[in-house]
Structure 1
Amino acid sequence: MILADNDAPDRSLRLDAAEFIKANMHLVPVPALPEIRLYTAHPGSGLRRLVEPEDDAGADADAPEPQPPYWAYAWAGGAVLARYILDHPMSVAGRSVLDLGAGSGLVGIAAAKAGACEVVAAEIDRNGIAALGLNAAANGVAITVVDGDITGGPPPLVDLVLAGDVFYGQDVAARVMPFLDRCLAAGVEILVGDPGRAYLPRSRLRLLAEYKVPDFGETRDAALTPSGVFRLEAETAPA
């Protein structure tokens, strides 16, 4: 149904994302990354009220809880990249860094802790942006947030792009790869963290390190996921 202007939902009734996150999520250390704490979802978080606020009043009480949004958990690709950065601070020290598809801000927080001179985080989800700000503050670091999809634009003015778990879907990978290629052409280094998602461009990656880290939505007792950190290399012209 298309709503007329006077029939549109009252957006002023939407929950304040930052207040909701602070009240309903737990600020806890990330498994395999005890140096960093994130506001993390748990079974009692009630994230449906934040993700679908205008529909909540009419929701079926017996309906299954929707899958929590990506920013509410650590993803393996981001976790492995953050672990690598903390273990190898010279990879970011003194450099300007972009955390692409930042979500919770885990990777950018690690870069800031490891001595990056500037950290920019690109994120499109309004709730994710709220979580990112809270997480950065909780870890005592400063991160500049860019609100929106930057993959259609020019390369950012940074030294390094950190791409944690950006190859989980075909459409996303198809948008991200041309952007990363433009970054490479501009002389920007790219590090990728990934547990082996379906659309990972394996032929263009050079493995730097492997770790076992948590993945999205896994329970606290679940086995950690083997994941890799890679350097993305320019596409080689056919002979």
Structure 2
Amino acid sequence: MHILILGGTTEARRLAEHLADGAPRGLRVTNSLAGRVAAPRLPPGEVRVGGFGGPEGLAAWLRAHAVDALIDATHPFAGTISFNAARAAAAAHVPLLALRRPGWVPVAGDDWHAAASLEEAAELLPALGARVFLTTGRMGLAAFAALDRQWFLVRSVDAPEPPHPPRMEVLLDRGPFTLEGERELLRRHRVDVLVTKDSGGAATAPKLTAAREAGLPVVVVRRPPVPEGVPVVADPAAAARWLTDRLDRA
């Protein structure tokens, strides 16, 4: 049985590790990475890097490599590849599962402001603060490029490229992050507003606690929906059980 995991996330890597540790005989796992990170953490199993050429290219790859099941374990905001995967799986008649970590939920004391997109987040900022901690990654900074009155601390794994905000400091770092570290970062840079995507998970959640403690507003960009009709699980163990069920039936 050949499994293709569309990965690049912690959940995808943990699923690959889970399958590598207890994989039934004859189970082949291929991990696909988009290639947007210069030095990704490679999962066990076969690894391919780069795009497929849209849904038609992915469907052709599924057929050519006799893929029996496709798992979309990409980032919650990698919307294009998720819809491409749904179209490709349908065309190639390959079962598809989406693995998505649960989103964050506000708690008492949070001052969250929801935004449907990065552009909408940028529109909210002038009324919320002047010193912005921007943790939405290096992609999409063009949405904030017109804001010349705000100062931005941009944290990303790799260095961003233009267009980006004119007043900006870049912090190259990779999670997981600690609560104490996030507290110190907000204090040292005198941050007065945080912008984040609703990525979910524990690795980058301490910034939300630090912002709550400091009484800072947080602009939270809502994640795009999973394509209609695609089953969703919230953790690698559930994805492994889904695969085991399919393998048992096969």
Q: Tell me the TM-score normalised to structure 1 length.
A: 0.41
Higher gyration radius (CA): 2
